[in-house]
Structure 1
Amino acid sequence: MTENYKDRYKYLVQILNQYSFEYHTLDKPSVSDAIYDSLFSELKKIEEKNPEIISPNSPSRRVGNAISGGFNKVAHSSRMLSLNDVFNYSEVTQWFERILKINKSIEPVFFADIKMDGLACSLIYQDGEFQQAVTRGDSFIGEDVTSNVRTIKNIPFFFNDNEYSFLKSGRTEIRGEIVILKKDFEKINDSRLLQGETPFANPRNLAAGTIRQLDPKIASKRPLRFIAYDILRENKDEIRTNEVAYNMLTSIGFERNRQASKISSVKEVVDFIEYWSERRKELDFNTDGLVVKINDRNIFDNLGIVGKQPRGAIAFKYAPEEATAVVEDIIISIGRTGATTPVAVFEPVQLAGTTVKHASLHNSDEIDRLDVRIGDTVVVYKAGDIIPKISKVLFEFRNGKEKKFNFEEELKNKFPNEEFYRPKGEVVYRLKNSDSSILLKKNIIFYASKSGLDIEGLGEKNVNALVDSGLVKELSDIYDLKKEEILKLERFGEISANNLINAIEKSKNPTLERFLASLGVRYIGNETAKLFAKEFETIEKIKKASYDEIINIKGIGEKATESILAWFSEQENIELLEKLEQLGVVVKSFSQENKQGSLAGKKIVITGTLKDISREEFAKQIVENGGEFQKTITKDTDYLVIGAKVGSSKLAKAQKYSVAIIDEDKFRANFL
């Protein structure tokens, strides 16, 4: 190999990392995906022919090999300190008063930032090139998690060229939080819930647990982000203030919070805390408070440390939204895939602005871990402001009348005609008989739900009646129902029977993505179904697709690929599709559904409270008129439809991307 190839390879490594930074951190790619893929292919070819020159910071090294024997211990060059918590405004004032007792001349100049709920991590760079990643650990010694952290796409392997040229010489340490953003966490849990799997508790635990995995391939598949909050150099005079430190982080290529601000009085600190009290819920990440530091880093260091906490900084914690409740019962829910989930039932309580009367207990192991019993007083909170969860039992309230919950016995008592099993290595009990009437009911209910084909009148009670009566023995039977048969059931009269028949008839021409999502194929939720629809356009093409054709679709993973192939390989599923077709169900091709309607080819996001209509129904109308409903704003979004009580974050993002902002009434008048 000539030196020219070496130079070419070195440049490819640098430029591809630069493109990655532009794409994942700045959200302003300077080249198309096709150009990036072509250069990446060239880089891989050079590495295959010349493995001895492979750089540890090559984009191809983002995912390394599994680690055996655990993580190595690494001593921090300086302690990764925790902060002293305060919980009210008077404690903020008292904190600065204590500082003045040490040095009366200190000016009230602070630097404040949102405290992210993630995993603290330190990144070591030598001469501007990434070397190592270490967790906080006990503040003195952490663990080397370099192989997992390399997979985080918004971490630069090389510092950008910038005005702080000295940073490319010597050792630089970047400290920050590894997080999973709310929208990404919601997608993960939505997918798990749709597949009957246990949702993850919160983004912080998922991020931390992912970094603790020994196989970097697991980390590479999860949407981790690194948000920097500090930069350390051996010569402390190079970074005089925390404000300068944040400017440096931006210049060299790191993502950091844009909410951070220099503040010039204690009153402004209190105002800053108050400002974010409610607005923090609009942020992309979870937070339970703010960090406030003395801005001058020399003064900060001179104030010293008390125990594990520096005197020059505090963490203001917002009051957590939690409530106590008495567990009146524990019931078992069976998902549409046959997975069983225990659910605690209690009197309604107000939690994070909503009324809550159920909390998932996830599985039998979680019941045992918490030692939850019927009659217990428990603490309920919303994990990540999303999922009601029991955090602990208040054992001091026990009086001896509480009743232990035996999961297996309860399954036998509640479902005597069903057989359950717990697969090896899993924590969830599942229905053993896939032909079970319970599973059939669940599948029909999901098929007819708003997430499926939205067939009004096929709710739980009516589905139970139809299946129990023998009128519906498989999903396709709903399209063969006769009005005179339905009228024989107690639940139906002339009007309700007519309405049900009409609603079923209206569902016979669904869009491809809604139809695919409604079938209950494991790991195929609405977003994944949309990817299949765009790629293959018809159900026939999906049925014939090969493993390689599916796995190469951006956004579709191995589990979804294997699941869809397995579903279409089962004869009973093919027969189901044939029966549906024979009964008049004609699925629109993707090209058909996108050529029709006033919103053909348009991408729409909704924000705020809508008038007299649910968001799901409004999204359905958008799709029926040829549009594409999006949950978040991207550069490709055409319209942001606003209702009442609109948050500022989506408006700001729409303005950033020059997305047309239109109110609900005007949008309806023009398009629906």
Structure 2
Amino acid sequence: MPDRDDLRPGGGNNGSGATEDEAAHRILELRSAITRAEYLYYVEDAPELQDDVYDALLRELQQLEAKHPNLVTPDSPTRRVGGAPREGFVKVAHLSPMLSLDNVFSEEELRAFWARSLREAEGHLWRDGLRGFACELKIDGLAVSLLYEDGLFVRGATRGDGLVGEDVTANLRTLRGLPLALRKTVPGRLEVRGEVYMRREDFAALNEEREEREEPLFANPRNAAAGALRQLDPAVTASRKLRFFAYFVPDAIQRGLAGQIETLEWLRDLGFPVQDSSRRVESLDQVCAFIAHWKEARFSLPYVTDGVVIKADDLRLWDVLGRTAKAPRWAVAFKYPAEEKRTLLREIVVSVGRTGTLTPVAILEPVHLAGTVVQRASLHNQDEVARKDVRVGDYVWVRKAGEIIPEIVRVDRDARKDDPPPFLLPRTCPVCGSPVVTLPDEVALRCPNRSCPAQIKEGLRHFASRSGMDIRGLGEKLVDQLVERNLVRNLADLYDLRTEDLAGLERMGETSARKLVAAIEASRRRPPARLLAALGIRHVGSRTAELIVERFRGMEALLTATEEELAAVDGVGPRIAASVRAFVEDPENRIMLRRLREKGVAWEMEAASSPEEDADFPMERPFLGMRIVFTGDLERATRGEVEELVKRLGGVPTSSVSAKTSFVVVGRNPGSKFQKATALGCRIVSEEEFWQMIKPFRNDDFPFAASPAPEVEDVSGLPE
């Protein structure tokens, strides 16, 4: 991006006193800079801007568009995430069928496929036969069709049955690598097809979150991408970090394109992400060399590929070669066999999770598999162990599900010696010795001891995680020390820690200890929904916590809510309701929650004082019945303080944006709530505007304004 002051964050007029023309000019500058940054990051994999600079530019654009809604256009980068959840998906007919490909699994089958294709086209090819192939890696994702009108993205659909798919336009708009406006002018209608996929690291993080919530894990990135794309709420899709590769233009010849590789370069010029690995080769021998190279090299890629797609590069031959009822004769998919390796199962250990679940884990003789060394594989539960008849000392065949998750496929029974005894999970917890239990309708065995050190450790790690209270520096080794030295016995004990308690721990000096105490102190101001998600209640993740907090607006109401009332919350249901009810009814949990509130953690459920009881406020209640959301970092007060002000003025502070939101107060670094509010057309006010709104109703000249929230240094990289 050009090094110009007016393209830096705040470099132009931010709209506070801008004329319509000035705002329009600045908006165009910002959109150009942001679109370029997204293209370089998501398409070229060559980021040019630091994340904080990109975020600042996007925030400035959001604020300008909020002040000048008439200047918002469909291709604005702010339109990527927005819109209320829908009731269902609309069916759409494809302009031309989305065909599937025939599969081959060996060099012999590959050569036989092309021989058949040439025989079918006999008399229509040159004397020397077919030469020139386009080789592309086959991405393990979900095929979609994109429609553009005069360069603007207008519709996206899944493949469906090849003839009719589902309209997932709103969800596809959340993919940052997918251009909402093309980089070059393409008049009229353009259809582009490609693959939606999920990167390995994003898939692993998603499954880790699901495991923490005790939800079923996705088997592979393709299933995860498909599930994410079919979410009725686009905000959920956006959270899954999907990516896109373009690979096909149905009417490429009509657009003057002669070859498939040329088409890919044309798509890249328009701003689409295209695989860097695609190549044109001259012969089937070179095709086979390409396949052989990527058999191992593919494991170094950030995404999963399970084969190679080979196409006739010359587009004129596609009509000549023709198609069968289901697949073209001008393209075929070579599928790599699933990589399985045989290794020794040394032992089976039992881990104890955050909710007490006992999980058998196979410890393997290290084996190189799908690009990494595998030494462990989860056996999930006793039923899975029995089904596969896995025993210590067995030789087992191991693979990576979706090239990511290690799993034992089967036992080499012929190699079994001395008939080792079947493995059985222990009847007592391997950590604390408590008798284990099986809950109704469950397979898992659980340790019921809430004071079990293993559960406390896992609970603390979850509580301090980024999706929880985000306590930077509270890593795994430090958690182990805190529990083993009896400094922390439950979550509330964290807020009793002092610098001197921590300074004597291994790899923790006084400076590190002081920073960690500051990080713990900062976590008191996390929103109530973050606290609820961090408590580790089974089946309650971040999204569910937001739904519950918006409904009950605090722990006091939640503590007394019936299971029926909880289940009635949209998106909750009976299973989650029962889990929440069981958690809050536990006497130890109630004591812990009260202690958390006493320590000042931001989930105070005390009723707002009445005007008669509050000398700072007159009888007027200007926010009576209004639902108000705060997002971003506030400079003149803490989140808890401003929410208390809203309560005293008759309003209801909520943590999520909906069509019922009265207005949204935007501070520094606003998050997805601001985007959703903009999309829903909610009224948006700045922090300063909020203070001016309530000024006539206060008599103490804003005492909170003199005490901004302290900044806390990130200690996540400190030794543990």
Determine if the alignment matches structure 1 residue 542 to structure 2 residue 541: no
**8 Å contact 2:362–2:379 — kept in the other structure?**
no
Partner of 1:289: 307
Aligned-partner Cα distance in 2 for 1:381–1:430: 28
**8 Å contact 1:110–1:295 — kept in the other structure?**
yes
Structure 1 residue 183, shift from structure 2 partner: 3.1
Partner of 2:495: none
Equivalence map 1:556-575=2 (5 Å)? 571=595
Counterpart residue type for residue 267 of structure 1: D
Determine if the alignment matches structure 1 residue 217 to structure 2 residue 223: no
Structure 1 residue 538, shift from structure 2 partner: 4.0
Aligned-partner Cα distance in 1 for 2:51–2:478: 37
Structure 1 residue 306, shift from structure 2 partner: 1.5
Secondary structure of 2:249 counterpart = strand
Determine if the alignment matches structure 1 residue 507 to structure 2 residue 519: no
> Residues 84 and 445 from structure 1, CA distance in 2 versus in 1: closer, same or farther, beyond 3 angstroms?
closer
> Residues 551 and 256 from structure 1, CA distance in 2 versus in 1: closer, same or farther, beyond 3 angstroms?
farther
Superimposed CA distance per residue, residues 514-558 of structure 1 (whole angstroms, 9 cap, x where no aligned partner): x8xxxxxxxxxxxxxxxxxxxx94422432345469999xxx996
**8 Å contact 1:333–1:343 — kept in the other structure?**
yes
Residue 136 of structure 2 is aligned with which of 89, 95, 113? Answer: 113
Structure 1 residue 245, shift from structure 2 partner: 0.6
Determine if the alignment matches structure 1 residue 474 to structure 2 residue 486: yes
Superimposed CA distance per residue, residues 351-394 of structure 1 (whole angstroms, 9 cap, x where no aligned partner): 72789786435469xx69x9946479998531233322367999
Determine if the alignment matches structure 1 residue 203 to structure 2 residue 226: no
Counterpart residue type for residue 343 of structure 1: P
Aligned residues: 497
Structure 1 residue 130, shift from structure 2 partner: 0.8
Aligned-partner Cα distance in 1 for 2:48–2:429: 61
Equivalence map 1:18-417=2 (5 Å)? 18-28=36-46, 36-37=54-55, 39-51=57-69, 54-101=72-119, 102-103=121-122, 104-105=125-126, 106-161=129-184, 165=185, 168-189=186-207, 200-233=218-251, 236-322=254-340, 333-335=351-353, 337-340=354-357, 342-343=359-360, 352=369, 359-362=377-380, 372=387, 374=389, 381-389=399-407, 417=434
Structure 1 residue 160, shift from structure 2 partner: 0.8
Structure 1 residue 61, shift from structure 2 partner: 2.1
Aligned-partner Cα distance in 2 for 1:201–1:143: 23
Structure 1 residue 202, shift from structure 2 partner: 2.5
Aligned-partner Cα distance in 2 for 1:445–1:121: 39
**8 Å contact 1:12–1:43 — kept in the other structure?**
no
Aligned-partner Cα distance in 2 for 1:90–1:346: 39
Counterpart residue type for residue 474 of structure 1: N
Aligned-partner Cα distance in 1 for 2:449–2:55: 46
Aligned-partner Cα distance in 1 for 2:397–2:23: 61
Structure 1 residue 417, shift from structure 2 partner: 3.7
Structure 1 residue 474, shift from structure 2 partner: 2.8
> Residues 410 and 213 from structure 1, CA distance in 2 versus in 1: closer, same or farther, beyond 3 angstroms?
farther
Counterpart residue type for residue 96 of structure 2: S
Give the TM-score normalised by the residue count of structure 2: 0.56
Partner of 1:452: 476
Structure 1 residue 242, shift from structure 2 partner: 0.2
Aligned-partner Cα distance in 2 for 1:445–1:228: 40
Q: Percent identity?
A: 32
Aligned-partner Cα distance in 2 for 1:302–1:341: 61
Superimposed CA distance per residue, residues 395-443 of structure 1 (whole angstroms, 9 cap, x where no aligned partner): xxxxxxxx99999x9789999945768799x998865542135535878
> Residues 318 and 420 from structure 1, CA distance in 2 versus in 1: closer, same or farther, beyond 3 angstroms?
same
Give the TM-score normalised by the residue count of structure 1: 0.60
Superimposed CA distance per residue, residues 57-94 of structure 1 (whole angstroms, 9 cap, x where no aligned partner): 33222112343332111111112221111111122222
> Residues 281 and 438 from structure 1, CA distance in 2 versus in 1: closer, same or farther, beyond 3 angstroms?
closer
> Residues 63 and 362 from structure 1, CA distance in 2 versus in 1: closer, same or farther, beyond 3 angstroms?
farther
> Residues 7 and 254 from structure 1, CA distance in 2 versus in 1: closer, same or farther, beyond 3 angstroms?
same
**8 Å contact 2:310–2:331 — kept in the other structure?**
yes
Aligned-partner Cα distance in 2 for 1:570–1:264: 73
Stretch deviating more after TM superposition (228-237 or 353-362)? 353-362
Counterpart residue type for residue 544 of structure 1: A
Structure 1 residue 246, shift from structure 2 partner: 0.8
Counterpart residue type for residue 88 of structure 2: G
> Residues 435 and 628 from structure 1, CA distance in 2 versus in 1: closer, same or farther, beyond 3 angstroms?
closer
Aligned-partner Cα distance in 2 for 1:136–1:391: 31
Aligned-partner Cα distance in 2 for 1:231–1:74: 18
Secondary structure of 1:315 counterpart = strand
Aligned-partner Cα distance in 2 for 1:371–1:66: 46
Superimposed CA distance per residue, residues 260-281 of structure 1 (whole angstroms, 9 cap, x where no aligned partner): 1010011111111111121111
Structure 1 residue 209, shift from structure 2 partner: 1.4
Aligned-partner Cα distance in 1 for 2:440–2:265: 52
**8 Å contact 1:332–1:340 — kept in the other structure?**
no
CA RMSD of aligned residues (A): 5.4
**Structure 1: unaligned runs, 5 residues or longer:** 395-402, 478-503, 516-535, 576-625, 630-672
Aligned-partner Cα distance in 2 for 1:272–1:283: 15
Aligned-partner Cα distance in 1 for 2:220–2:93: 29
Superimposed CA distance per residue, residues 165-201 of structure 1 (whole angstroms, 9 cap, x where no aligned partner): 5xx1011122111122223334445666688887543
**8 Å contact 1:328–1:375 — kept in the other structure?**
no
**8 Å contact 2:27–2:64 — kept in the other structure?**
no
Superimposed CA distance per residue, residues 39-70 of structure 1 (whole angstroms, 9 cap, x where no aligned partner): 53444344434546543333222112343332
Residue 17 of structure 1 is aligned with which of 16, 30, 35? Answer: 35
Superimposed CA distance per residue, residues 546-601 of structure 1 (whole angstroms, 9 cap, x where no aligned partner): 5469999xxx9968999xx99998859999xxxxxxxxxxxxxxxxxxxxxxxxxx
**8 Å contact 1:75–1:141 — kept in the other structure?**
yes
Counterpart residue type for residue 159 of structure 2: R
Counterpart residue type for residue 436 of structure 1: C
Counterpart residue type for residue 286 of structure 1: V
Partner of 1:582: none
Structure 1 residue 325, shift from structure 2 partner: 10
Secondary structure of 1:309 counterpart = coil
Partner of 1:654: none
Secondary structure of 1:83 counterpart = coil
Aligned-partner Cα distance in 1 for 2:716–2:359: 39
Stretch deviating more after TM superposition (58-67 or 347-356)? 347-356
Structure 1 residue 38, shift from structure 2 partner: 5.1
Counterpart residue type for residue 137 of structure 1: G
> Residues 547 and 145 from structure 1, CA distance in 2 versus in 1: closer, same or farther, beyond 3 angstroms?
farther
Structure 1 residue 343, shift from structure 2 partner: 3.4
